[in-house]
Structure 1
Amino acid sequence: MRSAYEEEVLSPALQVMTKANPSLLSSGKFYLAILPTGLVVGCGGWSPEQPGKETVEQRLGHVRHFAVHPDWTRRGIGRSVFTVCVRAACAAGLMTFECNSSLNAEKFYRALGFVRIREIDIELKPSLMLRGVLMRRNIYEDLVS
Protein backbone atom coordinates (compact mmCIF):
# COMPACT_ATOMS: atom_id res chain seq x y z
CA MET A 1 0.00 0.00 0.00
CA ARG A 2 3.07 2.23 0.17
CA SER A 3 2.64 3.07 -3.50
CA ALA A 4 -0.66 4.81 -2.76
CA TYR A 5 -0.31 6.25 0.76
CA GLU A 6 2.16 8.28 2.77
CA GLU A 7 3.74 6.50 5.75
CA GLU A 8 2.10 8.82 8.30
CA VAL A 9 -1.31 7.76 6.99
CA LEU A 10 -0.48 4.13 6.27
CA SER A 11 1.08 3.16 9.59
CA PRO A 12 -1.94 3.95 11.81
CA ALA A 13 -4.33 2.71 9.13
CA LEU A 14 -2.67 -0.72 8.95
CA GLN A 15 -2.95 -1.08 12.73
CA VAL A 16 -6.73 -0.89 12.34
CA MET A 17 -7.08 -2.68 8.99
CA THR A 18 -5.10 -5.77 10.02
CA LYS A 19 -7.17 -6.52 13.11
CA ALA A 20 -9.55 -9.45 12.79
CA ASN A 21 -13.25 -8.71 12.48
CA PRO A 22 -14.87 -11.46 14.60
CA SER A 23 -18.39 -10.95 13.23
CA LEU A 24 -17.20 -11.23 9.63
CA LEU A 25 -14.96 -14.21 10.38
CA SER A 26 -17.83 -16.10 12.04
CA SER A 27 -20.49 -15.07 9.50
CA GLY A 28 -19.91 -17.91 7.06
CA LYS A 29 -19.30 -15.28 4.38
CA PHE A 30 -15.51 -15.03 4.69
CA TYR A 31 -13.29 -17.39 2.73
CA LEU A 32 -9.65 -18.47 2.74
CA ALA A 33 -7.51 -19.74 -0.11
CA ILE A 34 -5.26 -22.39 1.45
CA LEU A 35 -2.51 -24.39 -0.22
CA PRO A 36 -2.23 -28.14 0.46
CA THR A 37 0.72 -27.24 2.70
CA GLY A 38 -1.64 -25.23 4.93
CA LEU A 39 -0.31 -21.83 3.87
CA VAL A 40 -3.07 -19.22 3.59
CA VAL A 41 -2.44 -17.33 0.35
CA GLY A 42 -5.62 -15.27 0.10
CA CYS A 43 -8.83 -14.26 1.77
CA GLY A 44 -11.95 -12.21 1.27
CA GLY A 45 -15.61 -12.09 1.99
CA TRP A 46 -18.84 -10.19 1.77
CA SER A 47 -21.63 -9.01 3.99
CA PRO A 48 -25.13 -7.65 3.50
CA GLU A 49 -24.30 -4.97 6.08
CA GLN A 50 -22.46 -1.85 5.06
CA PRO A 51 -18.93 -1.90 6.55
CA GLY A 52 -18.87 -0.34 10.01
CA LYS A 53 -22.66 -0.03 10.11
CA GLU A 54 -25.71 -2.20 10.49
CA THR A 55 -27.31 -0.68 7.37
CA VAL A 56 -28.66 -3.27 4.93
CA GLU A 57 -30.02 -2.44 1.49
CA GLN A 58 -32.07 -5.10 -0.23
CA ARG A 59 -30.13 -6.98 -2.95
CA LEU A 60 -26.87 -5.10 -2.18
CA GLY A 61 -23.79 -6.74 -0.67
CA HIS A 62 -20.41 -5.39 0.34
CA VAL A 63 -17.05 -6.92 -0.55
CA ARG A 64 -14.90 -7.14 2.58
CA HIS A 65 -11.25 -7.59 3.53
CA PHE A 66 -9.72 -9.04 0.38
CA ALA A 67 -6.00 -9.77 0.54
CA VAL A 68 -3.49 -12.00 -1.24
CA HIS A 69 -0.13 -13.07 0.13
CA PRO A 70 2.55 -10.91 -1.58
CA ASP A 71 4.29 -13.99 -3.00
CA TRP A 72 1.05 -15.19 -4.58
CA THR A 73 -0.30 -12.08 -6.35
CA ARG A 74 -1.34 -12.19 -10.01
CA ARG A 75 -2.04 -15.94 -9.93
CA GLY A 76 -5.84 -15.82 -9.78
CA ILE A 77 -6.13 -16.27 -6.00
CA GLY A 78 -8.16 -13.08 -5.45
CA ARG A 79 -10.37 -13.80 -8.44
CA SER A 80 -11.06 -17.32 -7.16
CA VAL A 81 -12.08 -16.05 -3.74
CA PHE A 82 -14.24 -13.40 -5.40
CA THR A 83 -15.99 -16.06 -7.51
CA VAL A 84 -16.93 -17.97 -4.34
CA CYS A 85 -18.29 -14.72 -2.86
CA VAL A 86 -20.38 -14.00 -5.96
CA ARG A 87 -21.93 -17.48 -5.96
CA ALA A 88 -22.84 -17.27 -2.28
CA ALA A 89 -24.19 -13.73 -2.55
CA CYS A 90 -26.31 -14.56 -5.59
CA ALA A 91 -27.69 -17.61 -3.77
CA ALA A 92 -28.66 -15.23 -0.95
CA GLY A 93 -30.58 -13.06 -3.41
CA LEU A 94 -28.10 -10.23 -3.90
CA MET A 95 -27.73 -8.53 -7.27
CA THR A 96 -24.99 -5.95 -6.71
CA PHE A 97 -21.70 -5.69 -4.83
CA GLU A 98 -20.21 -2.49 -3.52
CA CYS A 99 -16.64 -2.12 -2.42
CA ASN A 100 -14.77 0.50 -0.40
CA SER A 101 -11.47 0.02 -2.20
CA SER A 102 -8.13 1.36 -1.09
CA LEU A 103 -6.43 3.44 -3.78
CA ASN A 104 -3.90 0.71 -4.54
CA ALA A 105 -6.61 -2.01 -4.87
CA GLU A 106 -8.73 -0.10 -7.39
CA LYS A 107 -6.99 -1.83 -10.33
CA PHE A 108 -7.73 -5.28 -8.86
CA TYR A 109 -11.43 -4.52 -8.41
CA ARG A 110 -11.65 -2.94 -11.86
CA ALA A 111 -10.23 -6.19 -13.30
CA LEU A 112 -13.10 -8.00 -11.56
CA GLY A 113 -15.62 -5.77 -13.35
CA PHE A 114 -16.18 -3.12 -10.68
CA VAL A 115 -16.79 0.45 -11.79
CA ARG A 116 -15.49 3.50 -9.93
CA ILE A 117 -18.33 5.56 -8.50
CA ARG A 118 -16.33 8.24 -6.64
CA GLU A 119 -13.44 8.83 -4.28
CA ILE A 120 -14.39 8.57 -0.61
CA ASP A 121 -12.90 8.94 2.83
CA ILE A 122 -13.12 5.60 4.62
CA GLU A 123 -13.47 6.03 8.38
CA LEU A 124 -11.33 3.35 10.01
CA LYS A 125 -12.02 4.73 13.47
CA PRO A 126 -12.92 8.17 14.82
CA SER A 127 -10.36 10.68 13.56
CA LEU A 128 -8.65 8.11 11.30
CA MET A 129 -9.62 8.36 7.66
CA LEU A 130 -8.18 6.63 4.61
CA ARG A 131 -8.77 7.95 1.10
CA GLY A 132 -10.40 5.29 -1.03
CA VAL A 133 -12.75 4.60 -3.91
CA LEU A 134 -16.38 3.49 -3.82
CA MET A 135 -16.85 0.87 -6.52
CA ARG A 136 -19.87 -1.11 -7.69
CA ARG A 137 -20.52 -4.23 -9.76
CA ASN A 138 -23.63 -6.07 -10.93
CA ILE A 139 -23.27 -9.71 -9.86
CA TYR A 140 -26.67 -10.87 -11.05
CA GLU A 141 -25.28 -11.22 -14.59
CA ASP A 142 -22.89 -13.88 -13.23
CA LEU A 143 -25.86 -15.87 -12.00
CA VAL A 144 -27.69 -15.86 -15.34
CA SER A 145 -24.65 -16.40 -17.57
Structure 2
Amino acid sequence: MLREAVESDVPAIGALMRRSVREVFPLFHDDRETAAAARYLTEPDTVLIEDRTYYVHEAGGQIVACGGWSRRDKLYTGSGAAPTDDRMLDPATEPARVRAMFVRGDWTRRGLGRAILARCEQAARAEGFGALVLMATLPGVPLYRSFGFRELRSTRIPLPNGVFLDGVSMEYPLSTAAG
Protein backbone atom coordinates (compact mmCIF):
# COMPACT_ATOMS: atom_id res chain seq x y z
CA MET A 1 0.00 0.00 0.00
CA LEU A 2 1.44 3.37 -1.09
CA ARG A 3 0.41 6.30 1.08
CA GLU A 4 1.54 9.70 2.33
CA ALA A 5 4.00 9.50 5.19
CA VAL A 6 2.95 10.88 8.57
CA GLU A 7 5.02 12.09 11.50
CA SER A 8 4.61 8.83 13.42
CA ASP A 9 6.36 7.03 10.51
CA VAL A 10 9.67 8.86 11.11
CA PRO A 11 11.36 6.17 13.27
CA ALA A 12 10.38 3.40 10.81
CA ILE A 13 11.49 5.53 7.83
CA GLY A 14 14.89 6.11 9.46
CA ALA A 15 15.29 2.39 10.16
CA LEU A 16 14.30 1.55 6.57
CA MET A 17 16.79 4.08 5.17
CA ARG A 18 19.66 2.63 7.20
CA ARG A 19 18.70 -0.96 6.33
CA SER A 20 18.41 -0.10 2.64
CA VAL A 21 21.87 1.49 2.59
CA ARG A 22 23.44 -1.45 4.45
CA GLU A 23 21.81 -3.97 2.08
CA VAL A 24 22.00 -2.21 -1.29
CA PHE A 25 25.02 0.13 -1.21
CA PRO A 26 27.63 -2.66 -0.92
CA LEU A 27 26.73 -3.68 -4.48
CA PHE A 28 28.01 -0.27 -5.68
CA HIS A 29 30.24 1.15 -2.93
CA ASP A 30 33.05 -0.02 -0.66
CA ASP A 31 32.66 -0.52 3.11
CA ARG A 32 33.83 3.00 4.00
CA GLU A 33 31.43 4.63 1.55
CA THR A 34 28.55 2.42 2.68
CA ALA A 35 29.18 3.25 6.36
CA ALA A 36 29.34 6.98 5.60
CA ALA A 37 26.13 6.83 3.57
CA ALA A 38 24.39 4.93 6.37
CA ARG A 39 25.41 7.65 8.79
CA TYR A 40 24.83 10.80 6.74
CA LEU A 41 22.14 10.02 4.14
CA THR A 42 19.59 8.28 6.33
CA GLU A 43 18.09 11.03 8.47
CA PRO A 44 14.41 11.44 7.55
CA ASP A 45 13.60 14.95 6.37
CA THR A 46 10.47 15.84 8.33
CA VAL A 47 9.89 18.92 6.15
CA LEU A 48 8.92 16.57 3.30
CA ILE A 49 6.41 14.88 5.59
CA GLU A 50 5.04 18.23 6.78
CA ASP A 51 4.73 19.35 3.14
CA ARG A 52 2.81 16.12 2.37
CA THR A 53 5.21 15.25 -0.46
CA TYR A 54 6.75 12.11 1.04
CA TYR A 55 5.39 8.62 0.57
CA VAL A 56 5.84 5.18 2.09
CA HIS A 57 4.96 1.75 0.81
CA GLU A 58 3.75 -0.63 3.49
CA ALA A 59 3.65 -4.40 3.32
CA GLY A 60 2.70 -6.64 6.20
CA GLY A 61 2.62 -3.67 8.57
CA GLN A 62 6.20 -2.66 7.73
CA ILE A 63 7.50 0.25 5.68
CA VAL A 64 9.53 -1.33 2.86
CA ALA A 65 10.03 1.68 0.56
CA CYS A 66 9.96 5.45 0.87
CA GLY A 67 10.62 8.52 -1.20
CA GLY A 68 9.14 11.77 -2.31
CA TRP A 69 9.58 15.12 -3.91
CA SER A 70 9.99 18.69 -2.77
CA ARG A 71 8.90 22.11 -3.84
CA ARG A 72 11.80 23.49 -1.76
CA ASP A 73 15.39 24.25 -2.81
CA LYS A 74 17.24 21.49 -0.89
CA LEU A 75 18.47 18.90 -3.40
CA TYR A 76 19.40 15.97 -1.14
CA THR A 77 19.82 14.88 2.46
CA GLY A 78 23.40 15.08 3.61
CA SER A 79 24.16 18.10 1.42
CA GLY A 80 24.63 20.19 4.54
CA ALA A 81 22.53 23.13 5.58
CA ALA A 82 22.26 25.99 3.13
CA PRO A 83 20.43 29.28 3.68
CA THR A 84 18.13 28.57 0.72
CA ASP A 85 17.09 25.01 1.71
CA ASP A 86 13.57 26.12 2.73
CA ARG A 87 13.08 28.53 -0.17
CA MET A 88 10.02 27.62 -2.19
CA LEU A 89 10.83 26.85 -5.82
CA ASP A 90 9.11 28.67 -8.67
CA PRO A 91 7.29 25.97 -10.69
CA ALA A 92 7.39 28.18 -13.79
CA THR A 93 11.18 28.38 -13.86
CA GLU A 94 12.63 25.74 -11.51
CA PRO A 95 12.36 21.94 -11.33
CA ALA A 96 10.93 20.10 -8.33
CA ARG A 97 13.34 17.85 -6.41
CA VAL A 98 12.96 14.08 -6.03
CA ARG A 99 14.26 13.24 -2.58
CA ALA A 100 15.20 10.43 -0.23
CA MET A 101 14.26 7.32 -2.21
CA PHE A 102 15.00 4.07 -0.37
CA VAL A 103 13.80 0.49 -0.83
CA ARG A 104 14.56 -2.39 1.51
CA GLY A 105 16.98 -4.83 -0.11
CA ASP A 106 14.53 -7.73 -0.13
CA TRP A 107 11.87 -5.54 -1.80
CA THR A 108 13.92 -4.16 -4.71
CA ARG A 109 12.88 -4.75 -8.32
CA ARG A 110 9.17 -5.05 -7.47
CA GLY A 111 8.02 -1.68 -8.84
CA LEU A 112 7.88 0.16 -5.50
CA GLY A 113 10.40 2.84 -6.47
CA ARG A 114 8.68 3.27 -9.82
CA ALA A 115 5.29 3.70 -8.06
CA ILE A 116 6.74 6.37 -5.77
CA LEU A 117 8.29 8.18 -8.75
CA ALA A 118 4.96 8.07 -10.59
CA ARG A 119 3.24 9.62 -7.56
CA CYS A 120 5.95 12.32 -7.42
CA GLU A 121 5.56 13.01 -11.13
CA GLN A 122 1.79 13.32 -10.86
CA ALA A 123 1.89 15.64 -7.83
CA ALA A 124 4.67 17.91 -9.16
CA ARG A 125 2.93 18.17 -12.53
CA ALA A 126 -0.35 19.11 -10.76
CA GLU A 127 1.49 21.95 -9.03
CA GLY A 128 2.75 23.28 -12.36
CA PHE A 129 6.36 22.07 -12.30
CA GLY A 130 7.93 21.44 -15.70
CA ALA A 131 10.63 19.02 -14.57
CA LEU A 132 11.95 16.85 -11.77
CA VAL A 133 15.63 16.77 -10.81
CA LEU A 134 17.56 14.61 -8.39
CA MET A 135 21.02 13.71 -7.20
CA ALA A 136 21.24 9.94 -7.58
CA THR A 137 23.57 7.71 -5.67
CA LEU A 138 24.75 4.76 -7.75
CA PRO A 139 22.15 2.24 -6.46
CA GLY A 140 19.33 4.47 -7.74
CA VAL A 141 20.67 5.23 -11.21
CA PRO A 142 19.19 2.12 -12.92
CA LEU A 143 15.71 2.88 -11.55
CA TYR A 144 15.83 6.53 -12.55
CA ARG A 145 17.15 5.70 -16.04
CA SER A 146 14.42 3.13 -16.61
CA PHE A 147 11.79 5.64 -15.45
CA GLY A 148 13.02 8.14 -18.04
CA PHE A 149 15.40 10.42 -16.16
CA ARG A 150 18.37 11.57 -18.22
CA GLU A 151 21.84 11.99 -16.84
CA LEU A 152 23.11 15.56 -16.68
CA ARG A 153 26.54 14.95 -15.16
CA SER A 154 28.49 12.63 -12.91
CA THR A 155 29.71 14.12 -9.66
CA ARG A 156 31.29 13.27 -6.34
CA ILE A 157 29.04 13.86 -3.34
CA PRO A 158 31.00 15.05 -0.29
CA LEU A 159 29.89 13.72 3.09
CA PRO A 160 30.73 15.45 6.39
CA ASN A 161 33.42 12.91 7.36
CA GLY A 162 35.45 13.49 4.18
CA VAL A 163 34.15 10.47 2.26
CA PHE A 164 32.93 11.08 -1.29
CA LEU A 165 30.22 9.07 -3.03
CA ASP A 166 29.90 8.84 -6.79
CA GLY A 167 26.63 10.39 -7.85
CA VAL A 168 24.73 11.41 -10.94
CA SER A 169 22.70 14.58 -11.41
CA MET A 170 19.55 13.62 -13.34
CA GLU A 171 16.51 15.33 -14.84
CA TYR A 172 13.03 14.26 -15.95
CA PRO A 173 11.09 16.77 -18.04
CA LEU A 174 7.41 16.74 -17.15
CA SER A 175 6.35 18.83 -20.12
CA THR A 176 7.22 16.06 -22.59
CA ALA A 177 6.68 13.06 -20.30
CA ALA A 178 3.55 11.00 -20.65
CA GLY A 179 1.13 12.07 -17.94
Is TM more than 0.5 here? yes
**Contact 1:59/1:93, CA 8 A, preserved across alignment:** no
Kindly report which structure 2 residues correspond to 1:12-91, keeping only aligned pairs within 5 A, or say none. Answer: 12-35=36-59, 37-48=60-71, 49-51=73-75, 52=79, 53=82, 54=85, 56=89, 58-91=93-126
| Whole-Å separation in 1 of the counterparts to 2:51 and 2:97 | 13
Q: Check if 1:135 corresponds to 2:170.
A: yes
Residue 2 of structure 1 aligns with which residue?
26
Cα offset, 1:114, TM superposition: 0.7
Shifted more, 88-97 versus 3-12: the winner is 3-12
**Contact 2:36/2:159, CA 8 A, preserved across alignment:** no
**One-letter code of the match for 1:21?**
D
Cα offset, 1:128, TM superposition: 4.2
Secondary structure, aligned partner of 1:141: coil
| Whole-Å separation in 2 of the counterparts to 1:126 and 1:4 | 19
**Contact 1:4/1:104, CA 8 A, preserved across alignment:** yes
Instruction: Report the TM-score, using the length of structure 1 for normalisation.
Output: 0.87
Please list the CA deviations of residues 18-69 of structure 1 after superposition, one character each: whole Å capped at 9, or x if unmatched: 122222232211011123x322121110112232442645340111011112
Shifted more, 82-91 versus 11-20: the winner is 11-20
Secondary structure, aligned partner of 2:26: coil
Instruction: Report the TM-score, using the length of structure 2 for normalisation.
Output: 0.71
Cα offset, 1:96, TM superposition: 0.7
RMSD: 2.0
Kindly report which structure 2 residues correspond to 1:103-122, keeping only aligned pairs within 5 A, or say none. Answer: 103-122=138-157
Cα offset, 1:123, TM superposition: 3.3
Structure 1 residues 123 and 28: alpha-carbon distance in aligned structure 2, compared to 1, 3 A threshold:
farther
**One-letter code of the match for 1:108?**
L
| Whole-Å separation in 2 of the counterparts to 1:95 and 1:59 | 8
| Whole-Å separation in 2 of the counterparts to 1:65 and 1:138 | 19
**Contact 2:96/2:131, CA 8 A, preserved across alignment:** yes
How many corresponding residue pairs? 143
Secondary structure, aligned partner of 1:5: coil
Unpaired segments of 5 or more residues in structure 1? none
**One-letter code of the match for 1:125?**
P
